[in-house]
Amino acid sequence: MSAFFFQRINDHIQYLRRLEQTLKDQGDFRGCDFHSCKLGQWIDTEGPSQIPEGADKAKLVFEMNTVHEHFHQTGERALAAKEANDPAAVRQAVTDMLKDSNILVAKLMELDRLCKI
């Protein structure tokens, strides 16, 4: 795996950990929208141009962006449920975030195989 994609996966995992710590009352991380994190900035800027021509760029970028946006929205939902003192909704949101996280990591690994960064 290239250092670039390894770093994006690490950034993503750190974001998830910080959010989970806040949900456990061990931090005050508030998250950000899906355009503001490092992965979102890459997707919105040079990311698509770094996907080789043989790949289905539009599909890969759309899938990555859709899951990434949902991941951030679910994080916001988890924080709102925490503030509303709704543990069941927090658990559901965390479950959804973990599903999205697995998909994002798989997509990053797929992009790593396709890209030459």
pTM of the model: 0.88
User: Is there a contact between 31 and 19 (Cβ–Cβ < 8 Å)?
Assistant: yes
Alpha-carbon span 4 to 20, nearest angstrom: 25
Alpha-carbon span 111 to 35, nearest angstrom: 19
pLDDT along the chain (117 residues), means of 10: 84 92 94 90 84 76 91 97 97 96 91 74
According to the model, what pLDDT value does residue 1 have? Answer: 67
According to the model, what pLDDT value does residue 52 have? Answer: 76
Task: Give Cα separations from 83 to 8, 77, 93, 103 (angstroms).
Answer: 29, 10, 13, 27
According to the model, what pLDDT value does residue 116 have? Answer: 65
